[in-house]
Amino acid sequence: MNQTQNHKRIIYRQGDVILEQVDFNVKDLEYYARLESDRIVIRSENGHSHVMNNIKLYRYYNRQIVVVEKPTPMVHEQHPAIVVMTGIYELRFVRDWLLRESRTYD
């Protein structure tokens, strides 16, 4: 998906989970990246999970890329659902200076 220069990158955050819109070509992803799953399940530190169904989760080197083909909600039992619009996103987590990189707590 190509973005115009004026287009703002959309970033969704639900708790510690971040989805950042990235500029990737779907065909390149299908060719170079490895399809890992058709859903996201990320366990929170308090035992609940961030869940997103009907997506494509790719592993591209050490990055996790999520392809959302239609508006899809990310749900969590303690957070309000957040609807992620169609696009290609990188899955990230809140980072910590002491850990030297962005990693989730669990």
Residue whose C-alpha is closest to residue 81's, from 14, 16, 18, 20? 14
Nearer to other proteins, 33 or 82 (CB): 82
Rounded to a whole number of angstroms, the minimum distance from the CB of residue 30 to other proteins is: 26
Q: Are 55 and 90 in contact (CB under 8 A)?
A: no
Q: Please, which residue, 38 or 45, has the CB nearer to other proteins?
A: 45
| Closer of 38 and 94 to other proteins (Cβ) | 94
Residues 6+ apart with CB under 8 A from 84: 12, 19, 52, 68, 71, 72, 73, 74
For residue 18, what are its two tokens? Answer: 């971040």
Q: Minimum distance from CB of 32 to other proteins (Å)?
A: 23
Q: Summarize as ranges the residues that interact with other proteins (CB under 8 A).
A: 8-16, 18, 20, 44-46, 48, 76, 78-82, 92, 94-100, 102-103, 105-106
